[in-house]
Structure 1
Amino acid sequence: MDRDQLAEKVRPFIDLIDDMRSIGIDKELPLPTIAVVGDQSSGKSSVLETLSGVALPRGTGIVTRCPLLLQLCKDRTVKWEAVISYRDKVNEFDEPSEVVRYVEQAQNALAGKGVGICEDLITLKITSSTVCDLSLIDLPGITRVAVKGQPDDIGAQIKNLISKFIKNKRTIILVVVPCNVDIATTEALKMAQEVDPEGTRTLAILTKPDLIDRGAEKNVLEIVHNKVIFLNMGYVIVKCRGQKQIDENMSITCAIEEELEFFRNHEHFRSLLREEKATTKCLATKLSNALVNEIKVSPTTYLTVSCSSYTQCTLENMWSGTY
């Protein structure tokens, strides 16, 4: 199935869940979700930037201070447009470079201008001819030590926030782990294992493959091949923009092209392309399929929800094959 055929099948399911969440059904019924979890400096922001095609807030310390629902909608007729909403605020814009300003503005409004966090959700919907059809929630990076201006229990606050999302058994946990650290010691994977000990709903992304020590490639391959810590959904390895490339203003489009060339020419990792375990493009396809599969698991659950007749009709049409 090519990407356009996949998009036609995926979009109705994702739109339905996003619509149900927007009217508050997730407060009564756990909705399928992809939650992105990672330690600070794991490369989480870079992965999300590559998937969305736009720069997101960056910096030291806690950058993601509120849960961010990132809705990506592929539409060949739209060059690029976005809507950001939180509480009673809604802003529409059509300039990708404005994403950082609007997200920071939303976080400051919800969590204050300091370095604290807030559980209120920010929704950023991006419609473009170049994005994949996907919907996921970015969560604050896990930290262990409070910095100036943060409460002493900031680490516990972040873990509590993350736990509220990943303990939902309908949530796919997307764990971001750098290749150049011991995967078994990462807090993000530990948290995932606590709520998903069998690894049935956890998918891990290995980042920064260009930073591993020479000779360590075999260890990384064993992880990707599920021989170290088994995850039912497996592993995908990606290479996103590094700080040097960001400083040099490398575009995300160029970074995606460079990522493909990196794996094609890598002595040890090129085989992962054939196995569909490498590149952000592969990751996007896996995530879209995983989310739709989770939505389709128990359709009768959604049909019994007290929601609008439109939503119920949409669900009935979906699972009867109308879509």
Structure 2
Amino acid sequence: MAMEESVFLDTPLASPYNNRIRPLLDVIDELRYFKLMQEDLNPPTIVVIGDQSSVVSANEKTLADEIIVATEKIAGKGQGVCATPVTVNVKKQGLPYLTMVDLPGIIPVPEDIYQQVSNIIMDYIKPKETIILNVLSAGVDFSTCESIRMSKQVDNTGTRTLAVVTKADKSPEGLLDKVRNNDVKVGLGYICVINRIGDESYEQARSKEALLFETHQHLSQIDKSIVGIPALAKKLVNIQETIMKNYSVGSIVDRSSTFGKLFDEYSEELQHHADCSSTFRKLVDEYSKELQHHDDIGKDFLVDEIDKLKDARTFGPPNFLSRQVFMSLVEEKVKTISEVPSKFIEKFWNYVESVCVSVLMSHFRDHPQLLSSIKREVQNLVEKTKQHSFGWVNNIVTMEKHSNYTTYPEYMETWKKLMAYQDEFMKILTDDSREKWNVQIDGLGEIDIGHLRGLEGYVLEAFDMKMRLIAYWEIIVKRLINYTVNHCLHSANESITSSREGWQRMLESSVAEHKERLETSMEVLERSKNVVNDLIEKFGK
């Protein structure tokens, strides 16, 4: 069970704590009041980890009973551990306090309890603002301690880990070498202390502790600056002073720079997806096939062309290739595929959004507050760009319906190639000796033309019209594919740039939105800085 304690020390340390720690903790409380943690600025927290707790003395029995009652109320009797903290406030008139989080002791069995405790501990010691107070027994090998192993997972260099060595009087031999050699790389150093025994008062315990570290054969060799509870108090004060000095709104600038680099990485990976994605290539292939699928050449070959030529016969002389007829055929043909480009646009931007969210999650998962805002900004941008793409592609489709111009040389090449089959086509169509009238045209396959017998007066003109339509349709398909794909790629690239600009606008908006509250917080931080400077000037660094 995680427990946040407000611990009041006895009279001998009251003055140093009142003068040094109390003002800092007051400031921290004020900072928390202003909810700076919502700005991803976390005031320093001291978290205690180690083996199972020591047996409490007769003076602390009532406190222990209260903790047990509260624990059972939250976690249930005999149910194991629970991540919900128990807050204990111990007060005594005129004495100072120290706020810290005392985590459950690390026990090896049973396995499920060990894992639950480990998860709780890791959640508390992971934040970079946390000071890890690692409690070690003097008689154990520090390098094998589970608490050391866990703290190294989140603080490998030990820059925010302080070790408190308890029961120094029980295993004094070799203790000096342990703390001096620092094989486990505890960056903030060691403090060696002696536990209270039985009904000893605080004054008795501290006097006994001071005497042992002064006179004991082995303990007296340890540097006086790292022994005793008073040294621990001073160490904690110094640590908090250092953190508070560096704790400023200026860190927002540093974080902004970091987020800028993260966003560059995000943009680069997003660009890589757009350029190299097999999913995108598959979308284009499917788009192309669907456009081609609507080109059903063999069904009722030339019937539509002949019908339209008959209807248009009054508008021109015989054998006149009517542009009006051709445009009417093109419009009807384009109508059959008018929804295909829009479907491609929908699939493409859905794909882009999924990639954006996936990449964002991988690069910004450690910044949940920023991630939420950027994700929302990117999704809004994708939706806006998608709607623009729908409008753009609808204009392209409309243009193809009402125009028939091209400079592509493939048009004439394809038309001439197809017209080369006209003589063979007419020869088969007029052959009365046949039972079946099928013609083979390269690229179109075998076509049944028996239904055209008796319509020879329109067939030649209709054949020419059909071949021109087929040649021009190939150009339309190419244009739709090229224009649509290029538009999507260009828009995706633009969205990357716009995403960065949107993120910058979002950050600026966030700063403006919280400006007044941040200014208030800065005043508190300035007060904190002044307190720290006064303390340093008074007591030294």
Give the TM-score, by structure 1 length.
0.69
- 1:193: Cα distance to partner? 1.1
- 1:130: Cα distance to partner? 7.2
Q: Which has the larger radius of gyration?
A: 2
Q: Is the 8 A contact 2:25 2:98 kept in 1?
A: yes
Aligned pair partner of 2:144 in 185, 188, 191 = 185
Q: Are 2:168 and 1:209 aligned?
A: yes
The residue type equivalent to 1:221 in the other structure is L
Question: Equivalent residue of 2:106, what SS?
Answer: coil
Q: Are 2:66 and 1:102 aligned?
A: yes
Deviation by residue 1:19-74 (Cα, 9 ceiling, x = unmatched): 44467654654331110000225x5x77xx8xxx962x6xxxxxxxxxxxxxxxxx
Aligned pair partner of 1:295 in 241, 244, 257 = 244
Q: Is the 8 A contact 1:200 1:233 kept in 2?
A: yes
Aligned pair partner of 2:44 in 10, 32, 51 = 32
Question: Equivalent residue of 1:124, what SS?
Answer: strand
Aligned to 1:75: none
Tell me which moved more, 22-31 or 4-13.
22-31
Q: Equivalent pairs: percent with the same residue?
A: 31
Question: Equivalent residue of 1:119, what SS?
Answer: coil
Q: Is the 8 A contact 1:36 1:173 kept in 2?
A: yes
Q: Is the 8 A contact 1:263 1:278 kept in 2?
A: yes
Q: 2 CA distance for matches of 1:23 and 1:112?
A: 34
Aligned to 2:258: none
Q: 2 CA distance for matches of 1:262 and 1:13?
A: 32
Aligned pair partner of 1:253 in 203, 207, 214 = 203
Aligned to 1:118: 82
What RMSD in Å do the two structures reach over aligned CA positions? 3.3
Deviation by residue 1:154-180 (Cα, 9 ceiling, x = unmatched): 101101100011111111100011111
Tell me which moved more, 193-202 or 253-262.
253-262
Q: 2 CA distance for matches of 1:21 and 1:310?
A: 13
Q: Is the 8 A contact 1:203 1:233 kept in 2?
A: yes
Question: Equivalent residue of 1:276, what SS?
Answer: helix
Q: Is the 8 A contact 1:14 1:292 kept in 2?
A: no
Q: 1 CA distance for matches of 2:518 and 2:71?
A: 31
More strand by share: 1
Deviation by residue 1:251-297 (Cα, 9 ceiling, x = unmatched): 3332222211221221111133x531111111111112212321221
- 1:224: Cα distance to partner? 1.7
Q: 2 CA distance for matches of 1:222 and 1:234?
A: 13
Q: 1 CA distance for matches of 2:87 and 2:518?
A: 21
Aligned to 1:13: 24
- 1:127: Cα distance to partner? 4.2
- 1:298: Cα distance to partner? 2.6
Question: Equivalent residue of 1:153, what SS?
Answer: helix
Q: Is the 8 A contact 2:104 2:117 kept in 1?
A: yes
The residue type equivalent to 2:187 in the other structure is N
Deviation by residue 1:90-120 (Cα, 9 ceiling, x = unmatched): xxxxxxxx43333233222222222522222
Q: Is the 8 A contact 2:134 2:148 kept in 1?
A: yes
The one of the two structures with greater contact order (alpha-carbon pairs below 8 A, sep at least 6) is 1
Aligned to 2:105: 141
Q: Are 2:528 and 1:318 aligned?
A: yes
Tell me which moved more, 250-259 or 16-25.
16-25
Aligned to 1:86: none
Q: Is the 8 A contact 1:142 1:155 kept in 2?
A: yes
Aligned pair partner of 1:221 in 159, 167, 176 = 176
Aligned to 1:159: 118
Question: Equivalent residue of 1:225, what SS?
Answer: helix
The residue type equivalent to 1:18 in the other structure is D
Tell me which moved more, 252-261 or 310-319.
310-319
Q: Are 2:192 and 1:237 aligned?
A: yes
Judged with a 3 Å threshold, the aligned counterparts in structure 2 of structure 1 residues 264 and 286 are, in CA distance, closer, same or farther, namely: same
More helix by share: 2
Q: 2 CA distance for matches of 1:4 and 1:302?
A: 33
The residue type equivalent to 2:165 in the other structure is L
- 1:308: Cα distance to partner? 8.7
Q: 2 CA distance for matches of 1:54 and 1:21?
A: 32
Equivalent residue pairs, number: 259
Question: Equivalent residue of 1:145, what SS?
Answer: coil
- 1:221: Cα distance to partner? 0.6
Tell me which moved more, 102-111 or 170-179.
102-111
- 1:320: Cα distance to partner? 5.1
Q: Are 2:216 and 1:266 aligned?
A: yes
Q: 2 CA distance for matches of 1:115 and 1:23?
A: 37
Give the TM-score, by structure 2 length.
0.43
Question: Equivalent residue of 2:46, what SS?
Answer: strand
The residue type equivalent to 2:529 in the other structure is W
Q: Which runs of 5+ in 2 are unaligned?
A: 1-12, 253-510, 535-541
Q: 2 CA distance for matches of 1:238 and 1:195?
A: 26
